[in-house]
Amino acid sequence: MLRSVPGTTDRRIDALLALLAENSLMVISGAKIAREIGVTRSTVWRWVEKLRSLGVKVKGHPRSGYQVERLPDVLVPQLLRSGLHGTMFGKRIHHFFKTDSTNSVALRLGQDDEPHGALVIAEEQTAGRGRAGRSWLSEKTSGIYVSVLLRPALSPMHAPLLTLMAGLAVRDAVAEQTGLAPDIRWPNDLLLSGKKFCGILTEMHAEPDRVRYVVIGIGLNVNHTRLPAEIEKLATSLHLEAGRSQSRLELLIRLLRQLDRYYNQFVREGPGPLLARFAQVSSYAQGKRVRITTATETFTGITAGLEPSGLLRVTREDGRVEPVIAGDVTEAD
């Protein structure tokens, strides 16, 4: 049986938000809300305060009733679901106001019977993880922190393609919503003005010949108006680049719809279209002078396209062309 995960958002808070959002032009009395979602009026008040602390603009108080000013930008299942209609996502959405890492939660779910297409979303992460043991800044409500659980019929060798797929989905969603044109630094960094605003951490559980499940974790800096001094030179946000704040809800729906589209295309047609699209939109795919840092060495070279498995080929200074299996890629001067 599929259970809900400890710590996920109370479904009734979700219902409260949906009720306010659906009636955003009306004041709804505390008593009516309490009746509809099945809690006391004082619980409604407590939850309204919680939503306010997350930046949801709720007007009113227990005596007058409550009203939201506009569609709240909180990534709860009830608000996401209608936008995800017809995709593989939406049936199982685990939302947290706060958790350690959505990837860690999704990996545990993968170990259980959680189905393909399940989502884990957090408004805040206390231990967001990046690649190579790094951490991922996961401030409350400024970013999108989402992990997608997939059970693809795929050999582990082809798993890098899933990271590319997620990068393309983010790129297209951001372009659609903001009109900006993000670059993708192989395999998984999305850049605007040369600075990173999104990272992807793909983790999987596999047997030698088949993937059992994959978790694709996506972290997006959306509405940060400034970033900590230590990363300011390397990182940016969509708000900083587009000059205005962005609806996280809208962006997450676009991103998941794109991911669904790319995934279905991949199942139908194989890696060809993904590789071609990556070559089209990433300045790192071909002819870029890069520095590669692996666990054992650092070298420079010129990028020379992708392997069918999604690995990046690099021509070294001595002329040898080699795929990069794992390593950090940066632009070399």
Q: How far apart are CA 301 and CA 322, in angstroms?
A: 10
> According to the binding rule CB under 6 A, does residue 171 interact with ligand BTN?
no
Phi/psi for 133 (5° steps) reads 75, 10
When asked if residue 102 is in the footprint of ligand BTN (CB under 6 A), the reply is yes
The footprint of ligand BTN on this chain (CB under 6 A) covers a number of residues equal to 21
Rounded to the nearest whole angstrom, what is the least distance from the CB of residue 301 to ligand BTN in the complex? 22
Backbone angles phi, psi at 251, to 5 degrees: -65, -40
Q: Which amino acid is at 215?
A: V
- 327 binding ligand BTN? (CB under 6 A): no
Is the CB of 125 or the CB of 258 nearer to ligand BTN?
125
Q: Out of 131, 140, 151, 313, which residue is the one contacting ligand BTN (CB under 6 A)?
A: 131
Contact 159, 206 (CB under 8 A): yes
Residues 6 or more apart in contact with residue 51 via CB below 8 angstroms: 13, 16, 17, 58, 72, 74
| Rounded Cα distance, 283 and 76, in Å | 35
Closest separation in Å from C-beta 33 to ligand BTN = 32
Number of neighbouring beta carbons within 10 Å of residue 33: 24
Give the separation between CA 197 and CA 210, rounded to whole angstroms. Answer: 32
Interacting residue with ligand BTN among 101, 141, 236, 258 (CB under 6 A): 101
Other CB atoms within a 10 A radius of the CB of residue 122 amount to 28
Q: Which stretch binds ligand BTN (CB under 6 A): 13-21, 131-139, 205-213, 229-237?
A: 131-139
Cis-peptide into 228, omega within 30 deg: no
Q: How far is the CB of 143 from ligand BTN (least distance, A)?
A: 8
**130: contact with ligand BTN by CB under 6 A:** yes
Give the closest residue to 311 by CA, choosing from 332, 331, 298, 327: 327
By CB under 6 A, tell whether 129 contacts ligand BTN.
yes
User: From the list 89, 96, 97, 136, which residue makes contact with ligand BTN (rule: CB under 6 A)?
Assistant: 136
Q: Closest Cα to residue 62, out of 45, 39, 49?
A: 45
Q: Which is nearer to ligand BTN, 134 or 210 (CB)?
A: 134
Sheet holding 286-293, edge to edge: 321-324, 312-316, 298-306, 286-293, 328-331
Q: Is 103 in the site for ligand BTN (CB under 6 A)?
A: yes
How far apart CA 9 and CA 101 sit, in angstroms, is: 15
Binding residue (CB under 6 A) for ligand BTN from 30, 77, 110, 128? 128
Q: Which residue is nearest to ligand BTN (CB)?
A: 199
CA 226 to CA 236: how far, in whole Å? Answer: 8
Q: Does 140 bind ligand BTN (CB under 6 A)?
A: no
Q: Which of 145, 262, 266, 284 binds ligand BTN (CB under 6 A)?
A: 145
| Least distance to ligand BTN, CB of residue 100, Å | 8
* Site for ligand BTN, residues 182 to 221, rule: CB under 6 A: 188-189, 199-201, 217-219
Select 99 or 258, whichever has its Cβ closest to ligand BTN: 99
The residues that touch ligand BTN, with contacts defined as CB under 6 A, are 101-103, 125, 128-131, 134, 136, 145-147, 188-189, 199-201, 217-219
